Amino acid sequence: MSHHIVEVNQLRHVYPDGTMALRDVSFRIHHGESVAIIGANGAGKSTLLLHLNGYLTATAGTIRIGDHQLSRETLAEIRRTVGTVFQDPDDQLFMPTVFDDVAFGPLNQGLDVATVERRVADALERVGALELRNKPPYHLSGGEKKRVAVATVLSMLPEILVLDEPTAGLDPRARRQLLALLRDFHHTRIVTSHDLDMVLELCERTIVLHEGTVMADGPTLEIFGNDALLAACHLEKPFAMQGCPVCSPGRQHPLPLPQRPLVAPHGDGLHDHDHHHDH
Amino acid sequence: MHMADALLSPAVGGTLWAASAGTIAWCSARMRRELDDRKVPLMGVLGAFVFAAQMINFTIPATGSSGHLGGGLLLAILLGPHAAFLTIASVLFIQALFFADGGLLALGCNIFNLGVFPAFLAYPLVYRPLAGRHPGQARLVLAAVVAAVTALQLGAFAVVVETTASGISALPFAGFLLLMQPIHLAIGIIEGLATAAVIAFVVRARPELVTAALAGRPAEQLPLRGMLAGFALAALLLGGVVSWFASEHPDGLEWSIARLTGETELPQPAGRLHGTLAEVQEKVAVLPDYTLRPGPAAEPAGRAGTSLAGVVGGLATLALCALCGLLLKKRPRRG
Amino acid sequence: MLAIDGNLLDFKRLDLLALKESPVHRLDPRAKVLTTLVFILCVVSFDRYELAALLPFALYPVVLLALGDLPAGYIARKVAVVLPFAVMVGLFNPLFDRQVLLQLGPLDIWGGWLSCLSIVVRALLTAAAAIVLVAITGFPAICEALERLGMPRVFAVQLLFLYRYIFVLADEGGRVARARQLRACGTKGLGLRHFGPLVGHLLLRTWERAERVHMAMLARGFAGEVHTRRQGRFGAAEGAFLLGWGSLFVALRLYNLPHLLGQLLTGN
């Protein structure tokens, strides 16, 4: 199925102020793959994602989505194929009610009302938010907002899902719900995140960006096992791979235990870890 | 100051509703033609920004009291007149509904007083010529203060005219004017200073936002058109007022307005909404009561005679209203 | 800056009332908007000295309050906010208008006092009508109704966007103000020197948000036109609501009910 290949070739992007955000980035993602794009702040992740749906135009290089090369003519088709879930759901949910928001895409596609209603119901059902349909987005919790944001994209029946920092700002329970949801999708998934534990759970392949270049591209476990690479790219191992500082004292923790402050430096991670990890 | 329903007569309120609705229709049509779809979310979000900014108070120099940003001039500088007018109108709309700020009938007056003057007069005719393309700090402050003062003086004047023309308040025209103009001179200066402070920051941080707003509409005849529209609307307003002063009976105005709105010559074809409104208004305006009731001043004794009945009846009516409410309230809970 | 959070909560509460289920909530918004307009026009079309005849109009907000199961105390408090302003303007009337219009026992009542009270009652009635309308209809539905009654689409979309982002930006503004206050170390007030950067920053963040929203819209096929679903039908119930209340208002406008009632009670 070469149908939904994402192929990025020698992509370069220079911002108007002269900053080179992407330097000759190339990769190929096949149908059904789940790929993480990771990197420190300013590595170029967001810039890359914004190229995939044609919001930004490449300074040099090409992008192919399926059979189409990204260009002005194919833009509409590509935006239908690639569904982008943005980081802040408050940016994504701009209509008065959840229903209107999920219907926004399908209505722009020019579908008839009955089809739109069905699409909306299906999409909300999939994210478990059907009962929220008549609520205004500002009365939703963070986790609900995120799931509805995913539904706004699902209702357009995309073949490729692009998610920018999907777990940012979610509490542990909402994060877990979202992960469970995403795991069930059979779309091609492209995810950027600083949440490497999520990457470990969700993506079999990882691309590491550093200062606009691809530093590594391979199986996630292999990349997370490469300490030198991670250090060079200002990344840290996911907590699940660091060993537990509480119950396995034999293991070397990055911080010497006696000097640890009362609140763990990675409070959230420790919590999330919750002592239910499997050794 | 926001105009309020309680001070308005239907004729004045209706005229200004029509004027504001016409301006909204004209600006909307223009925005459609402009086809800059970035402005769709931008206007909405900037309107919300004005709300948020109004919640942040600053200390007024040398007085110890505090003020906040009005936002009309700021929006005009960032968005240009048409988009700014629509944004100001939408902010006032929400204030009228959620905070009963003014009221729904007075909304027409408020949109006119606080929208037309900054967007179509103060910004294109005062701020832009004074500020030029790349104003220095002093020039920016000067331009913003003069523009804000102009807009607020005109707005305050309009409030006085509208109130006097409505005849609900007994404030004499000159006295009210003497009260309003100086207060709004102070408010205008503060508004200008606050606007200049924000613009100065934006110019330093992201100059392209302010210059893009200017460059997007370079040698267009926008100021002229805006000016004509503003003056046409102001003329309409003044026409209404003059006809009121000219006629002895308020009914005279009622009829002249009905005629006006009937064969409307507004700057823009009237939308269905104010067509309907005009109809409703016409009906209310010609309620026979206006002519049937003897002039109150003419027959004070007749009124005084029935005043006891009025008081008793009024109290009884209120009691009945409350009773209705209580009865209706109970029912759904049982059911 | 507690006022900011208070304001926002208050706003949210009014907004949430519209999500209730009741016969008046279910009516097509157009019926409610038009009825409210007829109500306001009737109320403001009274003569400036009219007081008693205004009172029966209280029936409309009271009945809707009851049918819509709205919290009376909360709505009353929101309406009362308009009082100081109305009283302030109204109080000038007794100063300028001293003709005796009414005698209540030994008391001479000046026209100014009558018109002052009239202004206050008008203010309360019109404010109550507007707030009850929002509470039983909800802002987006009011926009939809106005659009279907002829308001330009561009403006309707503008209203919806504004409304949506008030919640987001008021939060943001509140955070900025709080952060400043916590570091102000007790100094009262914010000088203009710091006001510019503080609000300017908020403005830049707002602008960037608008750019991101636009991006999210484009990603979902936005091409300049915002489509919304139109629901609701102007049926028999709506017709009855509008006609029933409308004719009641006109009748109350024509016949002074309290007077008639008073004459009946006092036997005059």
Q: What is the mean pLDDT of chain A?
A: 84
Q: Are residues A148 and A60 in the same domain?
A: yes
The tokens describing C60, both together, are: 């409309």
- For range B13-27, the mean pLDDT: 91
* pLDDT above 70: percentage of residues in chain C: 93
Spatial distance between the Cα atoms of C56 and B314, rounded to a whole number of angstroms: 8
Q: How confident is the model at residue C187 (pLDDT cuts 50, 70, 90)?
A: low
Confidence of residue A219 (pLDDT cuts 50, 70, 90): very high
Both A145 and A49 in one domain: the answer is: yes
Q: How far is the C-alpha of C28 from the C-alpha of C52, rounded, in Å?
A: 32
Asked if the structure places residue C214 within a domain, the reply is no
Q: Confidence class of residue B309 from pLDDT cuts 50, 70 and 90? A: low
Residue C92: closest CA among chain B residues belongs to which residue?
Answer: B171
Does some domain include residue C245?
yes
Inspect the interface and report whether the beta carbons of C41 and B311 lie closer than 8 Å.
no
Residue B216, pLDDT score: 45
Q: What is the pLDDT of residue B232?
A: 56
> Using one digit for the tens of pLDDT, what is the confidence trace for A60-107?
999 998 888 888 888 888 888 899 999 999 988 988 889 999 999 998
Evaluate whether C94 touches C112 at the Cβ level (below 8 Å).
yes
Beta carbons within 8 Å of B248's beta carbon, 6+ residues apart: none
CATH class name, domain B5-292: mainly alpha
Mean pLDDT of C235-242: 91
pLDDT-wise least confident of B67-71, B106-110, B156-160: B67-71
Instruction: Reply yes or no on whether the pLDDT at B291 is more than 60.
Output: no
Number of domains into which chain C is organized? 1
Question: Looking at residue A217, what is its pLDDT?
Answer: 93
Residue B264, pLDDT score: 34
Are the Cβ atoms of C209 and A83 closer than 8 angstroms?
no
Q: How confident is the model at residue C229 (pLDDT cuts 50, 70, 90)?
A: low
Mean pLDDT, residues C16-21 taken together: 87
Across C193-222, average pLDDT: 87
Please tell me the predicted confidence (pLDDT) of residue B133.
77
Dump pLDDT digits (tens) for A44-60. Answer: 898 999 899 888 888 99
- Residue C140's domain spans which residues? 2-149+234-258
Instruction: Tell me the torsion sign for CA atoms A85, A91, A95, A96.
Output: positive
pLDDT of C83 reads 81
Given a cut of 80, is residue B210 above it in pLDDT? no
Residues A222 and A247 in one domain: no
Residue C228 has pLDDT above 90, yes or no: no
**Chain A: partners with 3+ C-beta pairs within 8 Å:** C
* Distance in angstroms between the alpha carbons of the first and the last residue of chain B: 47
Question: Residue A265 has what pLDDT?
Answer: 43
| Residue A184 and residue A259 share a domain | no
Which residue does chain A place closest to C222, by CA atoms?
Answer: A108
pLDDT in tens, B262-288: 333 333 334 444 445 444 444 443 333
B171:C89 CB<8 A? yes
Between B and C, how many CB-CB pairs are < 8 A? 412
C182 CA: distance to closest CA in chain A (Å)? 23
pLDDT for residue B54 is more than 60: yes
Inform me whether the C-beta atom of residue C170 falls under 8 Å from chain A C-beta atoms. no
Q: Is residue C251 part of a domain?
A: yes
Scanning every residue of chain C, which has its alpha carbon at the shortest distance from the alpha carbon of B281? C41
Per-residue pLDDT at A223 exceeds 80: yes
How confident is the model over C138-163, as pLDDT tens digits?
Answer: 888 899 899 888 899 889 989 988 98
**Model pLDDT, residue C249:** 92
Instruction: Provide the CA A142 distance to its chain's centre, in angstroms.
Output: 16
Radius of gyration of chain A (CA): 20
At A83, list the tokens: 């569904």
Domain of A70: which CATH number?
A: 3.40.50.300
Instruction: Name every chain C residue with its beta carbon within 8 A of the beta carbon of B327.
Output: 66
pLDDT of residue C178: 80
Same domain, A115 and A246: no
Which residue reads 């009121």 in tokens? B244
Same domain, A51 and A147: yes
In a domain, C11, yes or no: yes
What residues make up the domain containing A160? 6-238
pLDDT band, residue C10 (cuts 50/70/90): confident
Q: Which of B1, B36, B56, B193 to mutate to test the interface with C (most CBs of C within 10 A)?
A: B56
In this structure, which amino acid lies at residue C106? P
**DSSP H or E segment with residue C109:** strand C107-110
C-beta atoms of B316 and C131 within 8 A: no
Give the closest-approach CA distance of B217 to chain C in angstroms.
19
Distance (Å, rounded) from C-alpha A239 to C-alpha A195? Answer: 10
pLDDT level of residue C59 (50, 70, 90 thresholds): very high
The answer to whether residue C155 is domain-embedded is no
- Give the model's pLDDT for residue B75: 93
| Separation between Cα atoms, residue B250 and residue C167, nearest integer Å | 44
In chain C, the percentage of residues whose pLDDT exceeds 90 is 25
Strands (E) in chain B, as ranges, are 58-59, 66-67
Asked if the Cβ–Cβ distance from B104 to C37 is below 8 Å, we say yes
User: Does pLDDT of C185 surpass 70?
Assistant: no
- pLDDT band for position B296 (50/70/90)? very low
pLDDT greater than 90 at residue A29? yes
Look at chain A and report how many structural domains it folds into: 2
A79 and A139 belong to one structural domain: yes
pLDDT for the residue numbered A9: 92
The predicted structure's pLDDT at residue B317: 78
The predicted structure's pLDDT at residue A42: 84
Report pLDDT for C244. 93
CB atoms within 10 A of CB B273: 22
Report, as an integer, the average pLDDT of A170-191. Answer: 89
Least confident of B295-299, C96-100, C220-224: B295-299
Contact at CB, B300 and C101, closer than 8 angstroms? yes
CA separation for the pair B273, B271 (Å, rounded)? 5
Residue A279 maps to a domain: yes
Residue C29 lies in a domain: yes
Query: Counting Cβ atoms within 10 Å, is residue B294 exposed (0-12), middle (13-18) or buried (19+)?
Result: exposed
A86, C216: Cβ pair inside 8 Å?
Answer: yes
Considering the domain boundaries, does residue C64 fall inside one?
A: yes
Domain membership of residue C263 (yes or no) is: no
CA distance A245 to chain C (A): 35
The pLDDT of residue B234: 54
